[in-house]
Amino acid sequence: MGFKRTLKRDKRKFNKMLKTAVIDENPTFVTFLALCPTLGVTNNVANAIGMGISVIFVLAMSNVLVSSISRWVPDEIRIPVYITIIATLVTVLEMVMETYMPNLYTSLGIFLPLIVVNCIILGRAESFASQNKVKDSLFDGITVGIAFSLSLILLATFREILGTGGIAMLNIQIFSSENSMELFVQSTGAFLAFGILAWIISDLRMKQAKKAKKRRA
């Protein structure tokens, strides 16, 4: 009976954290963290999903490890310790991916080893995992990872549809690739598309905040 109740409570907690991570504190569109992989790998949806899953894995594992050893880590050397943990995880991920998913490995390229310096991962380790319990840290890692991958997929969908006229992964072709805007699959278009999406999202958020203020008053 006790186990069931804990499960229910955890589920509620997880949902709440997921909502906070995806909507209120979205790592990409609200706090503008980790823009390098966001702009680099989102030229198609398949890459974005691969990157998202890698980040979820690394983030969850690093959060668990950091929160479980944080009691014994001296304050002065905590950042090097966290970096070592993250780098180990990324190296493992890289080796696994090279063996089992060589296509994704080549298309992600340099951005896969660069997960080590992804500021979301170090930021969550520093600000959340080192001060919280193992289970909460695991939840935090998964939810923030999901939020990050959802924003990657949103940006990649926007760019791929505009840039190639369809989504290659799902075999969808909306309009002819001759009429598509090639600019958006190039790196210049990444900045442009990100700017437009961030503009729309912050505009929506501001409107919502105004509405909430009116309701309160």
Closer CB to other proteins, residue 76 or residue 178? 178
Residue 102 phi, psi (nearest 5): -60, -35
CB 165 within 8 A of CB 185: no
100: left (phi over 0), alpha (psi -120 to 50) or beta: alpha
Give me the least distance between CB of 159 and other proteins, in Å please.
13
Nearer Cβ to other proteins (130/180):
180
- Binder among 77, 96, 199, 202 for other proteins (CB under 8 A): 199
Q: How far is the CB of 188 from other proteins (least distance, A)?
A: 7
Min dist CB 125 to other proteins, Å, is 37
Question: Site for other proteins (CB under 8 A): how many residues?
Answer: 12
Nearest in space to 124 (alpha carbons), one of 145, 104, 109: 145
What residues from 155 to 194 belong to the interface with other proteins (CB under 8 A)? 176, 178-179, 181-184, 186, 188-189
Shortest separation between residue 181's beta carbon and other proteins, angstroms: 4
Nearer to other proteins, 171 or 176 (CB): 176
Q: Report the nearest approach of other proteins to the CB of residue 182 (Å).
A: 6
**Length of the chain counted residue by residue:** 217
d(CA 137, CA 148): 16
Q: Please give the angle made by the CA atoms of 209, 126 and 144, to the nearest 5 degrees.
A: 50
Q: How far apart are CA 73 and CA 184, in angstroms?
A: 45
- Residue with Cβ nearer other proteins (129 or 193): 193
User: Shortest gap between Cβ of 205 and other proteins (angstroms)?
Assistant: 16
Give whichever of 172 and 196 is closer to other proteins, judged by the CB atom.
196
The answer to whether 159 and 193 have CB atoms below 8 angstroms apart is yes
> Is the CB of 146 or the CB of 162 nearer to other proteins?
162
- For 151, other C-beta atoms within 10 Å of its C-beta total 25
Residue 82 to residue 71: CA distance in whole angstroms = 13
173: which strand partners? 166
Kindly list the residues in this chain that would bind other proteins in the complex (CB under 8 A): 176, 178-179, 181-184, 186, 188-189, 196, 199
